[in-house]
Amino acid sequence: MKEKILIVDDEKGIRDFLEIMLKKEGYKTAAAASGEEAIKLFNNSSYDLVISDVRMKGMGGIELLKSIKEINPETVVLMITAYASVDTAIDAMKAGAYDYITKPFKVDEVKHIIRNALDKKRLETENILLKRELKTKHAFGNLIGTSSRMFEIYDIIKRVKDTKTNIFITGESGTGKELVARAIHYEGIRKDKPFVPINCGAIPENLLESELFGYQKGAFTGAAANKSGLFEVANEGTIFLDEITELPIQLQVKLLRVIQERNFRRVGGIEDISVDVRIIAASNKGIAKEVKEGRFREDLFYRLNVIPIHMPPLRERKEDIRFLAEHFFEKHTKEIGKDIKGISREAMDYLESYSYPGNIRELENIIERAVALECAKLILPESLPDYVRGLPPNASIGGQEIVETAGQIINPQIPSGLNLEKNIEDYERGILLDALKKSGGVKKKAAELLGLSFRSMRYKLDKYGIE
């Protein structure tokens, strides 16, 4: 969709000249013979750029400029005048005009100024999207994996990336559904256009419609200016509707119309707004059950589910765990600034054996935790959570079982001036000595008593200088 430009001038010849010129350039245009008429048009539609004469009967151009900025501050406004002066230019700029041009027009100059003005608006929109994306970015890395299941997904992405076809991604939480949506967008022909993600379950129901479709000034209390919805922002790009099954039924009806008609109305609006948006939806729920039980419209599901993609849980592609773990290890050692060389073989064995109910997101959390806690040159099993190592809760150092084994009791009263780090080291050293005593000095048996690998046991004995 080309940008929409509103021309405001009380001289018909100027209006006709600008409309003909702009339509030849491919822009959509509308025209008004007065400021009052322009306000009526502006309240019922959205315009990317307004070109207005400074001097008109009734409402003048500066007054119109101020009114437009009150309704929608994002609109770019150009002023035209036959009475060019420094004072006129200063007044227009102070009121929020992007630039001004003088009559008679130099066509090439007008085209150049309009292009620059619209480029400025595009950059501002992209900056808003970038900030939004950084705030909502998922905390796990890019698509990674060499399993046969992942190669199937890569193949689908390659085949659909350049089409307009709607896509429905299913899979458990944390499997990387948004990553697939991003890959489809950024690998395809829409990569230079906006990618707009929204979690349908994270926004209150009463705000979701205006977030998706925008609203007109005065549509409800607090609607002080026109606001573009995410479907407008995503025009010519991709909108990613995560947790689509959380969409209320009444909004499912409106979304179905957007898919069928490729247009919609803002909340409180009376004009249809046309958009060219590719829709990628996702859900972690069993969609067939949601449809059967009447919580999700069957006709909408079929419209969205043209190309289905299912993301397998991590437990079904265990061959990818090592690659993912190494990726997250590199990421978090850089972020935290730790000088750790890698993940030990014993720790990796535990990681590859774990079932990951939280999928990729859980794996990253485990690696981040291990990097933060590890003091050795390698990630050792002891830096992994107990449940990853198959141990019961509270089995690690500090838990009651180990405390009893070591024959020590933690005093619940915390004395003033406590050196926590030294106390922990003394406590750990005492446990090691007690385990060696119980095993008759046999390190391997002592390691088994404490649930440590022999390699970890040797490291800790060296750390505390225990022969």
3-state secondary structure the chain: CCCEEEEECCCHHHHHHHHHHHHHCCCEEEEECCHHHHHHHHHHCCCCEEEEECCCCCCCHHHHHHHHHHHCCCCEEEEEECCCCHHHHHHHHHCCCCEEEECCCCHHHHHHHHHHHHHHHHHHHHHHHHHHHHHHCCCCCCCCCCCHHHHHHHHHHHHHCCCCCCEEEECCCCCCHHHHHHHHHHHCCCCCCCEEEEECCCCCHHHHHHHHHCECCCCCCCCCCCECCHHHHCCCCEEEEECHHHCCHHHHHHHHHHHHHCEECCECCCCCEECCCEEEEEECCCHHHHHHCCCCCHHHHHHHCCEEEECCCHHHCHHHHHHHHHHHHHHHHHHHCCCCCEECHHHHHHHHHCCCCCHHHHHHHHHHHHHHHCCCCEECHHHCCHHHHCCCCCCCCCCHHHHHHCCCCCCCCCCCCCCHHHHHHHHHHHHHHHHHHHCCCCHHHHHHHHCCCHHHHHHHHHHCCCC
pLDDT in tens, 353-399: 999 999 999 999 999 999 999 888 899 999 999 889 887 654 444 33
How confident is residue 404, by pLDDT bands cut at 50, 70 and 90? very low
Write out the CATH class of domain 4-133.
alpha beta
Least confident of 101-105, 127-131, 358-362: 127-131
Average pLDDT over residues 432-448: 82
Least confident of 81-90, 227-236, 426-435, 442-451: 81-90
In this prediction, residue 171 carries a pLDDT of 94
Domain extent listing, the chain: 4-133, 137-312, 317-390, 395-467
Q: Is the pLDDT of residue 301 over 60?
A: yes
Smallest CA-to-CA distance from 360 within 384, 337, 327 is with 327
Least confident of 300-304, 308-312, 317-321, 453-457: 453-457
In this prediction, residue 166 carries a pLDDT of 95
Check residues 218 and 71 and name the one with the higher pLDDT.
Answer: 71
Q: Is the pLDDT of residue 80 over 70?
A: yes
In this prediction, residue 207 carries a pLDDT of 86
Q: Does domain 317-390 have CATH number 1.10.3470.10?
A: no
Q: Does domain 137-312 have CATH number 3.30.1200.10?
A: no
How confident is residue 179, by pLDDT bands cut at 50, 70 and 90? very high
In this prediction, residue 393 carries a pLDDT of 52
Q: Is the pLDDT of residue 348 over 60?
A: yes
In this prediction, residue 392 carries a pLDDT of 60
In this prediction, residue 224 carries a pLDDT of 76
Q: What mean pLDDT is reported for the chain?
A: 83
Average pLDDT over residues 239-268: 91
In this prediction, residue 241 carries a pLDDT of 95
How confident is residue 450, by pLDDT bands cut at 50, 70 and 90? confident
How confident is residue 428, by pLDDT bands cut at 50, 70 and 90? confident
Smallest CA-to-CA distance from 232 within 467, 440, 1 is with 1
Provide the b/e sequence for 254-278 (b: ≥16 CB within 10 Å).
ebbebeeeeebebbbbeeebebebb
Q: What is the dihedral of CA 90, 92, 93, 99, to 10 degrees?
A: -110
Same fold, 137-312 and 395-467: no
Q: Is the pLDDT of residue 109 over 90?
A: no
Q: Is the pLDDT of residue 25 over 60?
A: yes
- Alpha-carbon span 466 to 459, nearest angstrom: 10
Q: Is the pLDDT of residue 114 over 70?
A: yes
Average pLDDT over residues 341-355: 92
CATH of 395-467, one of 1.10.10.60, 3.40.1280.10, 1.10.357.10, 3.90.1170.50: 1.10.10.60
- Alpha-carbon span 102 to 85, nearest angstrom: 10
Average pLDDT over residues 314-318: 93
Least confident of 71-75, 380-384, 397-401, 459-463: 397-401
How confident is residue 83, by pLDDT bands cut at 50, 70 and 90? low
Q: Is the pLDDT of residue 141 over 50?
A: no
pTM of the model: 0.59
Check residues 87 and 113 and name the one with the higher pLDDT.
Answer: 113
In this prediction, residue 372 carries a pLDDT of 92
